[in-house]
Amino acid sequence: MENISLSESIKTLLLDIQEAFGLWWQGFLSAFSRPFYVEDTLEELEAIGVGSLPVILLTSFFTGAVFALQTTDILRQYGSAASMGQLVSFTMIRELGPVLTALMFTGRVGAGIASEIGGMVVSQQVDALRALGTDYMKKLIAPRILACIISLPVLTAICDLVGTFSGQILTTFQIHQNPHVYWNSVQSHLKIEDFYYSFFKAIAFGIIVAMVACYQGLKTSGGTRGVGRSTTYAVMTSSILIIASDFFLTKAINLLIAYGPHH
């Protein structure tokens, strides 16, 4: 019985992923055909992107500062305090920036999308759109998908910059390091390849958040309790997929860089 239940659970999970990806792909393609809901997309960009800015700024500032605080003593022991800028910027851009931004993003935006669409489903507003002949994919799903894909890379870039800057502030006050030493370390060691990690991870994480949140919202049932359940599942599933996919994305980008045209 345990083997059967396990296999059934895996099968259900794979089917959910397939349906969620199909929903995302359909919504993404529908965004590029008439009619274009430009106003709805701009509204979602403001709500999703600009609305997420305060939490991203706070998270990135304290993350960069804490990371620098934890590593200053170690670097000083080995006489490598001048490399602090390289270490903080490298870690923020390649790993902490994209992942932390995505997790904060899914906690705020993923939950909001799932609850908003779920509320429209249980209140039959989605059925009303269908009855009026409006394509709910273009009206509800496509603007949110585009907003997530556009907003997350921008927020990640801001997170990278703020986290690196807060690391410099910490080293200036903690070990009295000249800011020029810090920023020279950043500038001399960063490569264009490092930014590939942030950009491609942010795009992938934006797809994951939009895909899971929209799917969970549309499959909502059971009234207000169902809306809460869909919201919880959206955040939980997105967070797990972001952390799990981070490993595979890092591996894939490493391979692309290693076997790229310049090699």
Neighbours of 24 (CB within 10 A): 22
- For residue 206, the one-letter residue type is G
Residue spans of alpha helices (H) in 137-191: 142-174, 179-189
Q: pLDDT at residue 142 above 80?
A: yes
What pLDDT score was predicted for residue 105?
94
Tokens of 169: 């502030």
pLDDT at position 261 is 57
pLDDT digits (tens, 9 = 90+) for 192-233: 888 888 999 999 999 999 999 998 988 888 878 888 888 998
Task: Give the model's pLDDT for residue 191.
Answer: 85
Tens digits of per-residue pLDDT, 172-190?
888 888 889 999 989 888 8
Give the residue among 121, 87, 94, 113 at the shortest CA–CA distance from 219: 121
Q: Please give the residue that has the higher pLDDT: either 150 or 138.
A: 150
Provide the pLDDT confidence category of residue 138 given band limits of 50, 70 and 90: confident
Tally the domains of the chain: 1
Asked if the structure places residue 111 within a domain, the reply is yes
Does 263 fall in a domain?
Answer: no
Within a domain: residue 18?
no
Show the CA angle centred on residue 44, arms to residues 41 and 49, nearest 5°: 120
CB atoms under 10 Å from CB of 237, counted, come to: 24
The answer to whether residue 211 is domain-embedded is yes
pTM, two decimal places: 0.87
Looking at residue 167, its pLDDT comes to: 92
HSE at residue 223, side-chain half, CA atoms within 13 A, is 1
Q: What pLDDT is recorded for position 1?
A: 43
What tens digit of pLDDT does each residue of 66-114 get? 998 888 878 877 777 788 888 899 999 999 999 999 999 999 999 999 9
Neighbour count for residue 53 (Cβ, 10 Å)? 13
Q: What residue numbers bound the domain in which 49 lies? A: 37-254
pLDDT for position 2? 45
In a domain, 25, yes or no: no
Residue 169 counted as domain residue:
yes
Q: Could you tell me if residue 85 is inside a domain?
A: yes
What single letter denotes the amino acid at residue 241?
L
Read off φ and ψ for residue 225, nearest 5 degrees: -65, -35
Does 17 fall in a domain?
A: no
